[in-house]
Amino acid sequence: MLLVLKKVARKAINLPRWTVRKIINVLRWIVIKTIHLPQLFRAAHYWWSLTNVAEFQFLKDRCPLCRSHFLLKLNSSETGVRCISCQAGVVQMSIILAVQKYAKNLKSLDAYELSSGGPVVTFLKGNAGSLTLSEYFDDVRPGELKGGVLCQDIQALTFNDNLFDLCTSTEVFEHVPDDTKGFQEIFRVLKKQGVLVFTVPINLAGVTLQRAVIKNGELVHLEEPEYHDDAIRGKGKVLAYRTYGTNIVAQLKNTGFEDALIDETFKDKLFGHGRAVVVAFAGNKAARNKGYSPTESVQP
Ligand SMILES: [Zn+2]
């Protein structure tokens, strides 16, 4: 049946072979998902709201998270690029590309992700040796659970030292009031061969812009307040304390990491919307184990 469909589609509209394959895969996926109709309709409604028909495109690559062929460009903005199978966007796809590059033998690694849900968590659950998850809740003491999810304040983790091989986060550190303390804490709970892989909004042509600080227990805005969306608190609900610049590398090294870098090699991927990913190595041994040379430049 699928073979006939493929032949008809190729002959009738003369589409390239891989485009036909993708269309067939999408149709097959829709049929499978039909048993979960309410979710499918909600998702389809959301994707349609993002879609600009003139800019719609299939991407030839597979999704780095779920390996499906469902990478689409729904519009020409960053939010328009997504995997409709696992719902990953460019931030999630970029960080997993970096995890695959810097955290080899993931199956044998103890991972810690600074969130509790979403495509990155699903990927790590299926691919890391072990996985610890946490969220920061305003109304729960760190180390305790809320709805089965562990609460942790990144500035004062309740974990012992040397626990994890890999720590990941997407768009978290710009919201941490004292991020230097946060980096020190991650360094403390990482094993000596451990690696921190994360994304933050970053200005690759400048230095970190501090937008707000906590002074004597009071929040002081230094710039026009900028709020980001959050899966737990909602749309536009979390304050960004800063927009990072390239000196994040020096900041990481000053907090104890042996080496750090901003990997820009993913930027050209995903219709040019790929993100730069920040990577920090707890020790040089890790760098050598991963085949990475500390003096090597990874910027294009
Ligand atoms: Zn996917």
Each residue's pLDDT tens digit, 89-134:
999 999 999 999 999 899 999 999 999 999 999 999 999 999 999 9
User: Distance, CA 67 to ligand 1 centroid (Å)?
Assistant: 6
What pLDDT sits at residue 13? 63
User: Distance, CA 86 to ligand 1 centroid (Å)?
Assistant: 4
18 plus 125 within the same structural domain = no
13 plus 28 within the same structural domain = yes
Place of tokens 């305790």: 144
User: Distance, CA 231 to ligand 1 centroid (Å)?
Assistant: 19
95 plus 73 within the same structural domain = no
Q: Which of 65, 47, 64 is nearest to 56 (CA)?
A: 47
Contact 177, 153 (CB under 8 A): no
Q: Which of 276, 256, 282 is nearest to 170 (CA)?
A: 276
User: Distance, CA 69 to ligand 1 centroid (Å)?
Assistant: 8
Burial per residue of 138-156, b for 16 or more beta-carbon CB atoms within 10 angstroms, e otherwise = eebebeeeeeebbbbbbbe
52 plus 188 within the same structural domain = no
Residue 9 CB contacts under 8 Å (≥ 6 apart), including other chains: 15, 20, 23, 24
From CA 231, how far away is CA 132, in angstroms rounded? 18
Chosen domain end from 88, 106, 129 = 88
User: Distance, CA 42 to ligand 1 centroid (Å)?
Assistant: 18
Chosen domain end from 63, 88, 113 = 88
CATH number at residue 156: 3.40.50.150
**Chain mean pLDDT for the chain:** 87
pTM, entire model: 0.82
User: Distance, CA 123 to ligand 1 centroid (Å)?
Assistant: 9
User: Distance, CA 66 to ligand 1 centroid (Å)?
Assistant: 4
User: Distance, CA 138 to ligand 1 centroid (Å)?
Assistant: 31
41 plus 102 within the same structural domain = no
User: Distance, CA 120 to ligand 1 centroid (Å)?
Assistant: 10
| 295 inside domain | no
User: Distance, CA 290 to ligand 1 centroid (Å)?
Assistant: 25
| 296 inside domain | no
User: Distance, CA 87 to ligand 1 centroid (Å)?
Assistant: 6
71 plus 169 within the same structural domain = no
| 241 inside domain | yes
Please count the structural domains in the chain. 2
74 plus 213 within the same structural domain = no
User: Distance, CA 207 to ligand 1 centroid (Å)?
Assistant: 33
| Percent of the chain with pLDDT strictly greater than 70 | 88
| 42 inside domain | yes
116 plus 64 within the same structural domain = no
256 plus 245 within the same structural domain = yes
State pLDDT tens for residues 164-219. Answer: 999 999 999 999 999 999 999 999 999 998 999 999 999 999 999 999 999 999 99
167 plus 55 within the same structural domain = no
Q: Is 147 left (phi over 0), alpha (psi -120 to 50) or beta?
A: left
User: Distance, CA 97 to ligand 1 centroid (Å)?
Assistant: 12
74 plus 95 within the same structural domain = no
User: Distance, CA 119 to ligand 1 centroid (Å)?
Assistant: 8
Lowest mean pLDDT among 16-20, 173-177, 291-295: 291-295
Chosen domain end from 88, 111, 141 = 88
Q: Which domain, by its residues, includes 23?
A: 2-88
| 190 inside domain | yes
| 300 inside domain | no
151 plus 24 within the same structural domain = no
| 298 inside domain | no
| 299 inside domain | no
